[in-house]
Amino acid sequence: MTATVRDQKLVGQVLAWGFESLRDLPWRRTRDPWTVLVSETMLQQTQALRVADRLPRFLERFPTVAQCAAAPASAVVQEWSGLGYNRRPLNLHRAARIMVDQHQGHVPNGLVDLLALPGVGPYTARAVRAFAFEEPAAVVDTNIGRILARVDGRTLGAAQAQTRADVLAESETTAKRYWWWNQSLMELAALVCTKRTPACERCPLADLCRWRGQGPDPAVGSAAVSGKQSTFAGSDRQLRGRLVEALRVTTVPVVEVATVIGCSDPDRVARVIAGLERDGLLERRRGRLMLPTG
């Protein structure tokens, strides 16, 4: 599939907007692959401004793949405090050790090699290729999936969304500026084509968009577009987070876990412990729980 005249115009208008509108964010000042991988891992479930605040501190402690790999997993999880979704730092640590063993301590640039790393999915792999190596790649996250559906005026499945993104990224108008194209499209979605209150009146794609805020939103139900999240308060996710936060400070006796996480249901407490243990986020030793030491 090749880009149409409309596609070429769309790409040109997004790039022109992006050249003038990209925010100055830490991960946009570098092409260092490790910095890009860390930032993209943080950005998976955390707001950009929060990542902008915490990324420099994390990189000061773990400035290279090798230094992250050499540290105990507990140190990486501890440094992640406040960013949530604690599987992410654990996967990042595991990925660092694989990169030391298999890629001489470097972040690989091949899609297959990137996808083989723990915690690296299709979006993150393509983001690293585009943002660190400026290789051919079209990223599709919840923001880009939303724009693609709205501009085309139709709900897109996963394969359709990726195909549309690939066609646009490879159009003649991008002139192989993969970094600029993907960053500009993501920024447009974050600042203008937002989920709840899109600013259609100031969108550079207003003349091309087949939705323009009229009628049912085609982004609802499209692939890569996030739906309503389950309630966090009172959930097992919240209890898991409480226990990991406590373990960042000290070890916790198994018999005190219920008090630490604020749950009196013994079956639920056991489920929380078992889940974290299964995910590799804690270890048991002599009746006490601790962060992983490996």
Catalytic positions: 40
Which residues, at least 6 apart from 231, have a Cβ–Cβ distance to it below 8 Å?
Answer: none
Residue 248: Cβ within 10 Å count: 16
CB 35 within 8 A of CB 204: no
Q: Which amino acid is at 98?
A: I
CB 293 within 8 A of CB 74: yes
CB 95 within 8 A of CB 107: no
How far apart CA 123 and CA 117 sit, in angstroms, is 13
Residues forming a β-bridge with 288: 253, 285
Q: Which amino acid is at 182?
A: N
